[in-house]
Structure 1
Amino acid sequence: MIRSTEATIRGFLEHVRSGRDPERAADFLAPIVLAHQVAAGSREVIERSPKNYIEHVAEMRDAFGAFDFAVEELLVDGDRGYARWTQRGHHIGVIDGHAPTGRPIETVGSAVYRIADGRIAEYWIQLDAAGLAAQLA
């Protein structure tokens, strides 16, 4: 059964990206996903797999602890969807070279996802790096 674009994105965000059940990454991600990322004004494309996305979520848990993840908006058009979210946790691990402080920390992000055959095949992500940096200072 192939899921709709909305069901695929919502399932991925609610189960995998949220940190609630990252082991389900293969249910929502293609074997190779092109991840277009903007980091400090620099653009890069990396290949993600379900396995390394599980590792990515583990890194977020190491930095933020058991974080809360809320989808603020989800818009879908054909094989693409836009999602905007807020992640709240505590600074319990090293983030961008900053030692843990234990303080509450919040990040805002958004992404456009492209779905093929009921799985995420590509995404374009932006995170509020300046907001995060201000909280780490």
Structure 2
Amino acid sequence: MNNAKDTVRQFLLQVRSGLHPERAGHFMADLVRAHQVASEAPEVVERTPRQYTEHVQEMLDAYGPFTLTVDELIAEGDRVYARWTQDGRHVGPVGGHAPTGARITTMTSAVYRVEDGLIVEYWIQIDRQGTAAQLRRAATGD
């Protein structure tokens, strides 16, 4: 990878998309600080590429082979802002909701910090309320 924006773009398209989660080590440092930006319970977790691969597999188990569309990618220095939309089917348990087969769309944004061509830190925000509302609607048939 020759710059931060290319690193993040390829990470999203290859790894986060679920197409090749096993390639996480090509784009991530050995240990990445992941800031889970949530008003109700912000936290920082540390993830290895292997743990990130497992995380993506959990999403595949829950939503099947989903599509990920990169809606925006803006870079400045070592930081890259990314916004994407993920579309999948509710095929596995999610947050206490049994699978419904319903289409679920999740909107997410993150800022990645890249050093020496590898992601070393990121701050991620996911529209959890929107996802929860879709799961509730699917469960009740509304």
TM-score tier by shorter-chain length is over 0.9
Matches within 5 A, 1:1-137: 3-39=2-38, 41-137=40-136
SS in 1 for 2:2: coil
CA RMSD of aligned residues (A): 0.9
SS in 2 for 1:63: helix
Deviation at 1:39, TM superposition (A): 4.1
Cα deviation per residue 1:46-92 (whole Å; 9 max; x = unaligned)? 00110000000100000000000000000000000000000000000
Deviation at 1:40, TM superposition (A): 5.9
Q: Which amino acid aligns with 2:58?
A: E
TM-score (normalised: structure 2)? 0.93
- Cα pair 1:40 1:129 within 8 Å, conserved: no
Deviation at 1:23, TM superposition (A): 1.1
Q: Which amino acid aligns with 1:84?
A: R
Count of residue pairs brought into register by the alignment: 136
Cα deviation per residue 1:11-38 (whole Å; 9 max; x = unaligned)? 1001000011111100000000000003
Name structure 2 gaps, 5 residues minimum. 137-142
Higher strand content, 1 or 2: 1
Percentage identity across paired residues of the two chains:
57
4+ runs of 1 displaced by more than 3 Å?
none
TM-score (normalised: structure 1)? 0.97
> Distance in 1 between the 2:93 and 2:44 partners?
24
Deviation at 1:41, TM superposition (A): 1.7
> Distance in 1 between the 2:97 and 2:77 partners?
41
